Structure 1
Amino acid sequence: MASPGYFPHNSLPNYSNSSAVQEKLGLRHLSPWFIPVSVPIPGVRTRRLRLYLPNARRLHSSSVLRFGRRAGSAIFLFGFLLFVFVAFAFAKRFGTRSKKWPRPFIGDPSTLIFEREDLQRIWHWEIASGHFPSRRPIPEQLGLRVAPRNPGIPPRSSPSQGLLGFANSTTGIGPRRTYLEIKSKPHDTAYPPRPVPGSVADLDVIMDHCDFSEKKYVRDCLEVLRAGAGLDTGNRLRRGSLKEWKYIYMEHADSGNLDANYDHAAQENVEAVPLGVQAHIGNDNLEKPPIALPTPMKHRPYASLPTPCDPDNPRVFHMFWTGPFTDKPYTALLSFLYTQNTGLHLREAPDATICRPEFWMWINPGPAAAVPNPSAVRDMFDELKKNPWASPFLHPRFKDVIRFKLWNTTEQLDGIPELKDEWRNRDLFNSGGNIIAVPQDSKPKEDDAEGTATKAESDNFLNRAGSKSSSTYDRMSVILSDMARFVLCHRFGGTYLDADTIFLRDWEDLWGWKGAFAYRWSRMTRYNTAVLHMNKNSALGTFLFRTALKNDLDFHPMTISRYTKDAHLEELLLRLPDALFDSAWLNTENYQRDRPPQPYFTAFEDFFETPVVNSAAPQAMGFDGFFKGAYSYHFHNFWWKPFDPSRNWPDLGEQFAAGEKLARTATASMLPSNVTDSPDGIPDDVDRRDLDWATVLKRTFEGYIRGERPNMYGEWLHW
């Protein structure tokens, strides 16, 4: 016979040892654990959503049955109160504007705020303006029935359609191209030639040879970049045909089949094809009016311009700096003078056939959250004149190519039509959803000992102006610079570069490419905006600012990646391989170490502290052996590590002796007492025998400014 409380298959339960109450509870039909609830679906009258919620009656009955009436009721009440407390705590923690729900639990919500018609208008505007000089496919999800006509590419084969039957390419109607084979003149191969004025880099070809997603190596990419630009003519070894490596071309003066009366608006068409994303729940952030765009720009080949500089595409490099000037922006400016075609080497007037690039150094003199005072511009230049790292660039010789400008957050944001009426209602310091609230009065107040310490720590964070060490990183200024780069490029046009960037070659052919671009975040298909090129007042810029405004002004590069992906606009902001601007990144993350480029860095610190096993390379190879072919190098922060520890001052010669003397005096206290015994100011036992890469590059640039050596193109600076 079965034991009490146990009943085998096809037998009855035995209640011989149960109380009467338990017997009645056991015989009574218990309600289900979950009960269905029907709720209406917004916008759908004929259907209702069926949800299943926990049945409080069943939970209470089960607790009473298990623990008795009093204990069970108490446990049920405690569980209910605990649930309410946890729900309230989560709402308090993640329900405010400055907190976000953890993405691993709910995933990334859509950032899309535009309808399909607006996305089509953005694509048509950029294509009609010549900002898509590419044959890369356009997203079929846009639902375009007719392939847009593209003045940025020459006519070729007929446009194609995708699997859904919609256009996924453009129709070329632009000028013809001639791809160049660039070589040095015979018997003059010591230095590479300057790029041909008006030449254009075909980034489609570069993607074919450099795209990490297609398993392309950085080492091979740099070889293609060197060969195609003629940077290795003096050292080029015999190979087969290099026809496929030609990526620099000239556009003919003719305009192809471009019709001056072409109405891009007539090509705008809508088809009911899913975008693959959803806007925010409830469409609270959806842009209601159609996007307002100006008349598209006219694509003009360089050969048809009346002057060498195209006013629609200004050649301006932007850089943002907070706090006192140091050796980091100093070296960035030196590398600009060493590589770009500024014409400073000419004794007479600059070549009138050359469009000289300009470098705009934007200075935010105080903490990121500070408001400049009325005399901020005068104060900025007074500080620059006193600063030995900055004062050399105020010399009249550089006045037409290097300009210092004061950054004013209010003025800049008011200069963006897409932001000026609404940005004051947003938090400015938002990075990847992490919002830093800035109090109205952040000054320390007198309080108890514990409270004063906490406030002082907070104020120290808010009042930082530059990163002096790894433990005092100026995060606020970094977040502000994430937004500043888009503001500057949208207002003025040009290319933004982070201050931890060094130029490695002339950017003439990159200026020729009229499309917008940033570069890849190492192995991930995300943007790194340490280099960002955008066109002035573009439709893409309007999209980014309106989208960022509705997403709490978040300009973190990871978030920018979500904006363009959700809206199918990634091809309008081309994600270039990091080999072009950040050649060491993959190696530092343990990728492609079987065939690394030269030099071989396993960590970004290797730039400042070259491992002993590789320490012969910097002096033996010099600038010519440093990621040759790349356009620039990004050394990723390390603001506190000097480029040249034993010569931590600007060493630019007699013209700038006053600033050098000030810097030497400031550095003398950190050097041994016998430093003054050496005629050169540095004894042999202080200067390292094996110089690091950072030191070699800084001293190379300084040698050019002193007039002791030519720049990378063999041009001498005469004083």
Structure 2
Amino acid sequence: MTSDLPSHSSAVEEKLERQHRHSWTRPVSLSIPGVRTRRLRILVPNAGPFNTLRVNRMRRKRGPLLVALACLAVFFTVILVSKSFGRSDWGDQWQGGSTPEPPTLVFKRRDLQKIWKWEIASGHYPSRQSVPVEIGFTEPFVNPATPQQPTALKPSRFRSPGVQIVTEGRGVGAKRRYLDIQSHPPNVAYPPRPVPGSVADLDHVMKHCDFGKGKYVRDCLEMLRLGGGLDNGERIRRDSKTMDWRYIYVEANSTSMDIEEPEQEQAPLYRRPAPGRKVDDPNDGLVKKKGVDWEASVSLPEPLTHRPAQSIPTACDPENPRVFHMFWTGPFTDKPYLAIMSFLFSQNTGIHLREWPSDTRVCRPQFWLWINPGPAAAVPNPTALHDMFEQLKGNPWASPFLHPRFKHVIQFRLWNTTEQLDGIAEIKDEWRELQDSLFNSGGHIISVKKAVTITTSAAENGTSTKTDDDDILNRTGSKSSSSYDRLSVILSDMARFVLCHRFGGIYLDADTILLRDWEELWGWKGAFAYRWSRLENYNTAVLRMNKGSALGTFLFRTALKNGLDFHPMTVSRYTKDASLEPLLLRLPDALFDAAWLNTENYQRDRPPQPYFTEFGDFFNTPAVNSAAPHALGFHGFFRGSYSYHFHNFWWQPFDPARNFPDLGPRFKAGEELARANLRREKAASLAAQTQTHTRHAANDPITSELPEGKHSYNDLYDDNDLEVDKTDLDWSAVLKRTFEAYIRGERPNMYGEWIEWRI
């Protein structure tokens, strides 16, 4: 029986109906799953205009309809929000929309197989990941860098007829013993140094940290922190899953390995065609770069012999030099200064010992800073090396590292583009054909030929040309966001591959701060870079490659045929087109760039510590988070990461209040020089302001006023103003002052070791 009286589930609903009785729509409030404090308000068709009887009948059936409409509204809202958050200008630039990138491949399949075999045989693939099926291996192969395991090839009775593609190698290497690294009472104030010769299982790291598989940076850092013993004995009891966080291992001490080749009949590379059919193309499936010929058969040296660290007679493996490379153009500033300071604070350099022990098993790393003293396009003069050291001696940011205490671990080296490219055997006879377009980044070429021609012509005619120091060809460093030294950045894209291929080691961008010992990363003998945020491309701000490797040969020959373009996005295309991506492992951002995903609007529901929404937060920490830097210090800065990449900001000082090397009495001369430079800069700036002030005062009765408490312009650059701190220190200032306190001898380094100055 129906009733003519209105029925409502609540007074709120009754008021809403009265308010919208004559409207075609009415709002409905629905609960949001998982959110107790808010409700979703949507508009639905209003049944008010209909007669009461029909309304009453419809009310009994409107529940499913409202639920369906609400679901549709939520679905379309999620789609729109996801699209708005996922868009990024720089990402669209390199994704190229729906237009595919042109192919870059210049190597045949048989040469790609040679490269893979050389790297595996040399121990440069300590991974259990499969070889891409596109490589087309048809013969079983062994891997000396993975533990012994049975072959993955099925017995013949289980295989289908025809050629079988082999993607799994058989491990024949030493056994791995995974370590439980942690401080033990009573020495729990600082974490222990990594075990010499230990290795990070990067397959295990990918399991816990791969963004592409939905892993969070926060969880990855917890695994890296606990598995590396960085919790300082403060481990909070967790469930049994903590055993899965042991990612550092040592290999069994074995000088010889039993490498037994599988006894199987060798299969042809491809199935023989039936009589009358056309012969199969051995490069079927490979897309060659247009307009170029296939590369001649690649010539590689004999593979290296993989040996566990414990079986090498010396502490350092001569085939695996432990050298950090960094490239710098122009005057030395606080940016390379802090990078080197972080190296001294975190790596096992031995500066905490009076003498380096001769019987140690620790391989002492070195830091090589390569300096291009002038503009990136300039040719060094004959006295460039002498001039470089004279400038370093007179530079307050650089001169401390010329102290004899650091001579075994820090080296300054002169970069010469011609000399370096001539040192690459793969391109030394051909690179000059591209010297007018060396500055190639992602296919965008900055030509320097025209400027050189004009300068040479003027010199021959006895005339002079006035150069603009802020011109893109004459810049030496980035002084602001609007005067970016683009040429030096492009040159560094190529320099990192040159240095790693010639000398081996790890390249670091100059906007990198080391946060922990890299011992176990040195132990992983494969090549790696890391992921470009959300994109499946490389960022080569960290690049590890082996000296004279087959991978290096591939990259330089491919780059030569693609305009010597070493932009990381282009390098991503090189390896993808050739199915060599696993040989240059793309590690997760969390290891070297833990803030990047947050700055791109990802994983903000569970961010790591500290929480940066933009890279500028490192230099200017937002007030809401500004208690953390001083309270937590170095210990609370992305604990677990191997390094932090602050992405440029060359013009932003780390510590504006103390923008000088604060290293104590031993380096007082450099500090005074830096302070004097600051006063001169302030005086010059104020002189310009005074001229502007006088000019405006003559024409305008309204003149600018001096700040409160300042009676003359001299007061603005008084020495006391250099030490006025912000109430809340920023992260950049806290890290700089932490490293400097170690050098002054006021605190130990991150592993509890005090610097020893008596040598």
Contact 1:141 1:275 in 2 (8 A): no
Q: List per-residue Cα deviations over 1:484-533 (Å, max 9, x = no partner).
A: 00000000000000000000000000000000000000000000000000
Q: Post-superposition shift, 1:444?
A: 10
Q: 2:141 aligns with which of 148, 152, 177?
A: 148
Indicate the residue corresponding to 1:630 in structure 2.
641
1:658 to 650, 669, 677: 669
* 2:375 alignment partner in structure 1: 367
- 1:643-664 Cα offsets, whole Å, 9 max, x none, are 0001000001111111111001
2:572 paired residue among 561, 566, 571? 561
Q: 2:351 — aligned with what? A: 344
1:281 aligns with 2:290: yes
Equivalent position amino acid for 1:295 in 2: E
SS in 2 for 1:548: helix
Amino acid at match of 1:158: T
Q: What is residue 398 of structure 2 aligned with on the other side?
A: 390
- 2:441 is matched with 431
Question: Structure 1, residues 295-349: CA drift from partner, whole Å, max 9, x if none?
Answer: 0000011110010000000000000000000000000000000000001001233
Separation (CA, whole Å) in 2 of partners of 1:325 and 1:101: 32
* Residue 395 to residue 267, structure 1, CA distance change in 2 (3 Å): farther
Distance 1:292 1:201 in 2: 31
> 1:550 aligns to what?
561
Displacement, 1:456?
Answer: 6.2
Normalised by the length of structure 1, the TM-score is: 0.81
Is the 1:504–1:630 Cα contact (8 Å) retained in structure 2?
A: yes
Give, in whole Å, the separation in 2 of the partners of 1:458 and 1:104. 38
Q: Given residue 132 of structure 2, which amino acid in structure 1 is its aligned partner?
A: P
Residue 118 (structure 1) aligned to one of 108, 111, 134: 111
Aligned equivalent of 2:523, options 496, 501, 512: 512
Deviation at 1:274, TM superposition (A): 6.3
- Offset of residue 157 of structure 1: 4.0
Residue 148 of structure 1 deviates from its aligned partner by 1.8
Counterparts of 2:600 and 2:517, CA distance in 1: 28
Partner of 2:426: 418
Please state if 1:705 is matched with 2:743.
yes
Q: Distance in 1 between matches of 2:367 and 2:665?
A: 24
Residue 299 of structure 2 corresponds to residue 292 of structure 1: yes
Contact 1:132–1:152 (8 Å) recurs in 2: yes
Deviation at 1:669, TM superposition (A): 4.5
TM superposition shift of 1:102: 12
Shift in CA distance, 170/391, structure 1 to aligned 2, threshold 3 Å: same
Residue identity matched to 2:212: S
Q: Secondary structure at the residue paired with 2:147?
A: coil
Q: Which residue, out of 295, 318, 337, partners 2:325?
A: 318
| Kept in 2: contact 1:338–1:704 (CA 8 A) | yes
Query: 1:675-714 residue pairs with structure 2 within 5 A?
Result: 681=720, 686-714=724-752
- The answer as to whether partners of 2:109 and 2:283 remain within 8 angstroms in 1 is no
Residue 453 (structure 2) pairs with residue 441 (structure 1): yes
- Offset at 1:285? 3.7
User: Is 2:141 the counterpart of 1:132?
Assistant: no
Report what 1:223 is aligned to: 222
CA distance in 2, matches of 1:653, 1:114: 57
After superposition, the Cα gap between the structure-2 partners of 1:269 and 1:596, relative to the gap in structure 1 and judged at 3 Å, is: farther
AA aligned to 2:617 is: D
SS at match of 2:747: coil
Aligned to 2:311: 304
* SS, match of residue 628 in structure 1: coil
Distance in 1 (CA, whole Å) between partners of 2:650 and 2:536 is 27
Superposition deviation, residue 278 in structure 1: 1.0
1:619 maps to 2:649: no
Cα distance, 1:262–1:478 mapped onto 2, change above 3 Å:
farther
Q: Which amino acid aligns with 2:522?
A: W
Match of 2:166 in 1: 167
Q: CA deviation at 1:276?
A: 3.6
Give, in whole Å, the separation in 2 of the partners of 1:527 and 1:224: 23
Counterpart of 2:417 in structure 1: which amino acid?
A: T
One-letter amino acid matched to 1:280: K
Q: Is the Cα contact below 8 Å between 1:124 and 1:268 reproduced in 2?
A: no
Is the 1:199–1:250 Cα contact (8 Å) retained in structure 2?
Answer: yes
1-structure distance, mates of 2:627, 2:453? 54
Report the Cα offset of residue 595 of structure 1.
Answer: 0.1
| Structure 2 residues not aligned, in runs of 5+ | 1-92, 271-279, 459-463, 683-709
1:674 CA displacement:
6.0
Match of 1:198 in 2: 197
Please show how residues 88-99 of structure 1 align to structure 2 within 5 Å.
none
> Which of 342, 354, 366 is 1:358 aligned to?
366
In structure 2, C-alpha distance between the alignment counterparts of 1:296 and 1:428, rounded to whole Å = 32
Q: Cα gap change, 1:619/1:592 in structure 2, threshold over 3 Å: closer, same or farther?
A: same
Q: Distance in 2 between matches of 1:589 and 1:151?
A: 40
Give the length in aligned residue pairs: 606
Separation in 1, partners of 2:267, 2:415? 39
Counterpart contact for 1:527–1:561, Cα < 8 Å? yes
TM-score, structure 2 length as denominator? 0.76
C-alpha contact (below 8 Å) 1:467/1:640 kept by paired residues: yes
SS in 2 for 1:412: helix
Question: Which moved further from structure 2: 294-303 or 348-357?
Answer: 348-357
Instruction: Indicate if the aligned counterparts of 1:117 and 1:269 stay in contact, CA closer than 8 A.
Output: no
Q: Deviations over 1:203-234 (max 9, x none)?
A: 00000000000000000000000000000033
SS of residue in 2 equivalent to 1:300:
coil
Query: Which one is further off, 665-674 or 129-138?
Result: 665-674
In structure 2, do the counterparts of structure 1 residues 642 and 297 end up closer, same or farther at CA, with 3 Å as the change threshold?
same
- Cα distance in 2 between the residues matched to 1:401 and 1:281: 47
Other-structure match for 2:341: 334
Q: Identity of paired residues, percent?
A: 65
Task: Tell me, yes or no, if the aligned pair for 2:138 and 2:267 is still in contact at 8 Å.
Answer: no
Q: Tell me which amino acid in the other structure corresponds to 1:239.
A: R
1:26 is matched with which residue? none
Residue of structure 2 aligned with 1:581, choices 577, 581, 592 = 592
SS at match of 1:224: helix
Q: Find the partner of 1:379 among 387, 399, 408.
A: 387
Q: Distance in 2 between matches of 1:298 and 1:559?
A: 32
| Equivalent residue, structure 2, for 1:5 | none
Q: Secondary structure at the match of 2:212?
A: helix
Secondary structure of residue in 1 paired with 2:355: coil
- In the alignment, the residues of structure 2 paired with residue 461 and residue 166 of structure 1 have an alpha-carbon distance, to the nearest angstrom, of 51
Q: Could you tell me whether the CA contact under 8 Å between 1:388 and 1:660 is conserved in 2?
A: yes
Rounded Cα–Cα distance in structure 1 between residues aligned with 2:94 and 2:309: 50
CA distance in structure 2 between the aligned counterparts of 1:101 and 1:510, rounded to whole angstroms: 30
SS in 1 for 2:173: coil
CA distance in 1, matches of 2:457, 2:283: 56
Q: Distance in 1 between matches of 2:230 and 2:95?
A: 48
Compared CA separation, residues 262 and 706, structure 1 to 2 (3 A): farther
* Structure 1 equivalent of residue 31 of structure 2: none
Amino acid corresponding to residue 223 of structure 2 in structure 1: V
Q: Is 1:444–1:459's contact at 8 Å kept on the other side of the alignment? A: no
Q: 1:582 to 1:102 in 2, by over 3 A?
A: closer
1:199-214 correspondence runs (5 A): 199-214=198-213
CA shift, 1:441, in A, is 3.0
For residue 457 of structure 1, report the CA deviation from its aligned partner. Answer: 6.7
Q: Which amino acid aligns with 1:399?
A: K
> 1:395 Cα deviation (Å)?
0.3
Residues 519 and 102 (structure 1 numbering): CA distance in 2 closer, same or farther, change over 3 Å? closer
Shift of 1:107: 2.6
Aligned with 2:558: secondary structure? helix
Distance in 2 (alpha carbons) for counterparts of 1:290 and 1:207? 34
Q: Distance in 2 between matches of 1:406 and 1:143?
A: 44
SS at match of 2:112: helix
SS in 2 for 1:319: strand
**SS at 2:369's partner residue?**
strand
Q: Structure 2 CA distance, aligned partners of 1:655 and 1:460?
A: 39
SS in 1 for 2:499: helix
